Amino acid sequence: MISVSNVSMRYGAKVLFEEVSTAFTPGKRYGLTGPNGAGKTTFMNLLTGELEPQKGTVVRPRKFGVLSQDQFAFDAYRVIDTVIMGNKRLWAAMEERDRIYTQADISDEDGMKLGELEGIVGEEDGYTAETDAALLLQGLDIPDHDHERKMGELQGGQKVRVLLAQALFGHPAALLLDEPTNHLDLDSIHWLQSFLNDYDGVLIVISHDRHFLNSVCTHIADIDYQTIITYTGTYDDMVVAKTQIRSQIEGQNAQREKKIAQLNEFIARFAAGTRSSQVQSRRKEVERLQVTELAKSNIQRPYLKFEQKRPSGKHILEVEGVSKSYDDTPVVKSFTASVIRGEKIALMGRNGAGKTTLINALLANSPTVPENELRKTSGYDGPFLSEGKVIWGHEAAVGYFAQDHRMLIEKGMTVFEWLHQWDPAASHEEIRGLLGQMLFPRDDANKKTDVLSGGEAARLLFCKLMLQKPNVLVLDEPTNHLDLESINALNIALQRYPGTVLLVSHDHDLIDEVATRIWHFEGDHKITDFKGAYEEYQAVAV
């Protein structure tokens, strides 16, 4: 069990939470929600002990697993050892034991120490540690031949999966996971959902993936109104309950305000008259009916609306026998497809399967995406297409959101200057209006692009797409730095968008609710082209 008593945290004038008391009990799985900046990671750091509360106390179990956010901290260690480090007591005992065994002479004192250390190794299941770690890694799609490699040799997505295995290792009494689905493909996310649903300890998870929260969580601890309120049920259940409770309180306040106004009117009319006893009783009634003071919600919802300057021709894209290899390693083999205006295609498959490679091959011949943008975001200076043809249709105008989208935002400019350059004819008020829609306060128009957070950079790029009004949107992992409110806004905007969409995402709900066609990347470098929604594809793919 993890308990929090009278905890407060504030930074200057900004109050994150005040006098919070709550408990997280075994067998329950909690989603920790709230918009970017609400204090989710701060609260998680209080639970892990990385931060001390400014006021109050936190009680936690002796053994708990934490998902490390530093992907480079373990670069010098073997993958299998990195996982075992999740059990700090076991790892410390194994390191000390190995150190003693390497000594030329082992004293009686060392012998006694070895006995103690072997006892700890036995208590912590150290004799099966490598086997247990390997099973976790296999479940997270890290093959056996990678277990002996150094962490520094792995790609970012692989590192995240190893660090996730580290958090899960050693049967911790509590799991504290901050954005565990980042950089995971859908197959790995589904495996993680299944694993966590079988976990019997305390689970607290921060995620901006609504489907993941709905699939895993039994409770939602929501940070808002300068406090934390725990709701029973899934994320969607929480949204309904939260809205109902807020509406109920606001309705009660409206009734009280009306009653207070009537009483005050009576008091004003008869205060100087002969009905003093009635006036006094009404004054007491006014005191009793004081309106419940409502803290302001910190939730802000962006407004996304993608439009077209002009529609494209009916046949927007023809792909003929497209292949791409790096050196002698094939990534995409002989892919052929015809795309009709208005189709919304989700590109799906395991990480490294070739989704971004295909996107780059298609965009290399695009009429409106400069090749230098692809070079910047991919870091690749070779040809994007090995074989085949890519033919864009009449009036095609492509808007591009790169996976490494921050590379597309030039430094040394203000936010306003960077956005305005994409349409110099746009009025200052139009630019400021777009920035306001995407939650940039008026003063942030003068903010330097050098200091933008990942979420701010993503929102600024969406401003650019709304300003340009393309008739084709190519979005490569657009949700990585967005909070739930922004992802929901993107979901709705893409559903309503009349143009064509190519979408790379691991967000289950986004794919399920937006896509009308699936390009699924298989293990043999082939792509299955399924004309239908994701739910229909799942039904036939099983």
With contact defined as beta carbons under 8 Å apart, do 29 and 199 qualify?
yes
pLDDT of residue 104: 82
Distances (CA, A) of 343 to 94, 274, 346, 516, 532: 57, 78, 10, 6, 10
With contact defined as beta carbons under 8 Å apart, do 120 and 170 qualify?
no
Give me the architecture of the 315-541 domain, per CATH.
3-Layer(aba) Sandwich (3.40)
pLDDT of residue 246: 66
> Using the 8-state DSSP alphabet, how is residue 485 labeled?
H
Q: What is the pLDDT along the chain (542 residues), one digit of tens a residue?
A: 899 999 999 888 788 888 899 999 999 999 999 887 788 889 999 999 889 999 999 999 888 888 877 778 899 999 999 999 999 889 999 999 988 988 888 888 888 999 999 999 999 999 999 999 999 999 888 999 999 999 999 877 788 889 989 998 988 889 999 888 877 788 888 888 988 998 889 999 999 899 999 999 999 999 887 789 899 999 999 988 887 776 666 666 677 777 778 778 877 877 776 677 777 787 777 777 675 555 666 677 899 999 999 999 999 999 999 999 988 888 999 999 999 999 999 999 988 889 999 999 999 989 899 888 888 888 888 889 889 999 999 999 999 999 888 888 999 999 999 999 999 999 999 999 999 999 999 899 999 999 998 889 999 999 999 999 999 999 999 998 888 889 999 999 999 999 999 999 999 999 999 999 999 999 888 999 999 999 999 888 76
Same topology between domain 2-89+136-234 and domain 315-541: yes
pTM to 2 decimals?
A: 0.78
* Cα 426 to the center of its chain, rounded Å: 33
With contact defined as beta carbons under 8 Å apart, do 263 and 287 qualify?
no
433 contacts: CB under 8 Å, gap ≥ 6: none
CATH number of 2-89+136-234: 3.40.50.300
Amino acid letter, 124 = E
pLDDT of residue 323: 93
Residue position matching structure tokens 């046949």: 315
Domain ranges of the chain: 2-89+136-234, 239-288, 315-541
pLDDT of residue 107: 86
DSSP 307-354: --SS---SEEEEEEEEEEEETTEEEEEEEEEEEETT-EEEEE-STTSS
pLDDT of residue 297: 67
